[in-house]
Structure 1
Amino acid sequence: MLRAVLLTALAPIVWGSVYLVTTEFLPPGRPLLAGALRALPVGLLIVAAYGRLPAGAWWGRAFVLGQLHIGVFFALLFFAAYRLPGGIAATIIAMQPLFVALLGWALHGHRPSLVTVGAALSGIAGVGLIVLRPEAALDAWGVAAAFGAALCMAAGTVYASRWPSPVPLLLSTGWQLVAGGLLLIVLALSLEGLPSTLSAANVGGFVYLGVVATGLAYLLWFRGIRQLGVSVSFLVLLSPTAALLLGYFLRDERLGVVQLLGVAIVVASVAAGQWDGSRRSRQALLG
């Protein structure tokens, strides 16, 4: 169980590096293109390697999961990033665990425990302490997009748990990457166009985003959902924490006392959420 949790935790930690890679290595002003190149090439490689397409109901399921986890999620995320300070967008999207608990209750009758709700709210508060700034301004459309992004990922987590894949996990991940990436590439070409040149650093950044931050990270994430259930959603709170720590060590962005307190609260809430999920799973197995 601990090994599965640690492996799953690598996914949001890697996602926390995406902001640093984007600002330091990618061409500016191409967020949708970055999202498309994160998803589509690695997805096509995976599907081509297996040489197998979805069958039956999985055409629709792969499309739905691909949009929730990749396509619509990335589009809303980038829209929010343009209209909100990054800290506020990250805090709103960190509400995903609470949305997972509420959607699980609404769709499947899985009533969340007080510990689960408390851990979700505490984690959100911790992320707020880490990333919010007094001068941050709110944009209504940006806030709506960030909430939509959190809801998309939460719904994807719930449905991925409900629809266990009949094929190897890597293949089902490839289907979702292709489904979401196709939407993103259409949006990118329509709204942004292609950059005139790409440097070696740009290419390296795109490769990292596609192979590590998408292919490997989503494989670990979906594997965690399959093994641990929707309780893994609490681990997404590690993403903004990882982003902050990377900034501290690699960009000399100093941590204040309030931010350190936020990191501690996030770690504690993740631990509490995982403990409660494991406890309830054991109780269900024991009857």
Structure 2
Amino acid sequence: MGGFFVLVYVAGQRLPSSLAATLMSASAACMLLFAWLLLHRRPRAAAVVGAAVGLVGVAVMLGFDAEGADAWGVAASLGAMVASSIGFVLTVRWGSDVPALPMTAWQLIGGSLVLLPVAVLVEGGPPAMTVPSALGFAYLTLVATALAYVAWFSGLRRLSPGAVGVIGLLNPVTGVVLGVVVAGEAFGLPQGIGVALVLIGIVLGAAPPRRPREVSAAVRPALHSRT
């Protein structure tokens, strides 16, 4: 958890947000792979197709201009994606009986304790805060981290890792919508096509598997007589 947050911020500082979000969206496919390897849950074909369609949608929506991309930023983004995918799958494996709130609290506290001495040695003491920075820090801590991860781990308790990974593709979609509503950014044909592909991928990947139809009571005796 601690390493994941460091890598996310490194990627955010060294890469354009569109490229970082596109690379991180590969977690939908990565969680399917690790759930197969660590939980022995073979991914359904629909989930694989949904993850692929959603990833293409993110790339179309945000663009994928990797020309001149910072190599350390790309490595940090991919490292964060792999670290989070493995961590979420292991949470399903080891923490299925743990409520979401203590699961979130102990993971965030553990990651903070690991990072604290490194931060003091490398960066020194925290900078002086102004009122806007304190409000931003409070929002990032309480809403974007604590509340968000409680919701995320609650989803992991009720859904398969593959479904949660595909639903996570809504993250860049939310960013695009907020950019349009709050910052007045343009929303053109690529964004519309990308959002549509992401939503199609989520429907394909998160839909529950079809259950075989039960044989009616009138047909069962005939089947037993044949056998």
- TM-score, with structure 2 as normaliser: 0.85
Higher helix fraction (1 or 2): 1
Q: Is the 8 A contact 1:94 1:124 kept in 2?
A: yes
Deviation at 1:225, TM superposition (A): 0.4
Pick the aligned partner of 1:270 from 198, 202, 210: 202
* Contact 2:19 2:65 (8 Å CA) reproduced: no
The equivalent residue for 1:116 is 47
Residues 105-131 of structure 1 show CA distances to partners (whole Å, capped at 9, x for unaligned) of 222332212211111111111111122
Q: 1: distance between equivalents of 2:74 and 2:177?
A: 25
The match for 1:178 is: 109
The alignment's C-alpha RMSD in Å is 1.9
Which one has a bigger Cα radius of gyration? 2
1:103: which partner in 2? 34
The 8 Å contact of residues 88 and 136 in structure 1, kept in 2 or not, is answered as no
Residue from 9, 16, 20 that aligns with 1:89: 20
The change in CA–CA distance for 1:249 and 1:106 in structure 2 (over 3 A counts) is same
**AA at the equivalent of 2:197:** I
CA distance in 1, matches of 2:173, 2:80: 19
Partner of 1:74: 5
Where does structure 1 lack aligned partners over 5 or more consecutive residues? 1-66
- Cα distance in 1 for partners of 2:174, 2:76 equals 23
For residue 261 of structure 1, report the CA deviation from its aligned partner: 0.8
1:163 and 2:81 correspond? no
Distance apart, 1:94 and its partner CA: 0.6
CA distance in 1, matches of 2:63, 2:50: 19
Q: Can you give the 5+ residue segments of structure 2 that lack an aligned partner in the other structure? A: 213-227
Partner Cα separation in structure 2 for residue 164 and residue 195 of structure 1 = 33
State the identity %: 38
How far is the alpha carbon of 1:134 from its aligned partner? 4.4
8 A Cα contact 1:85 1:136, kept in partner: no
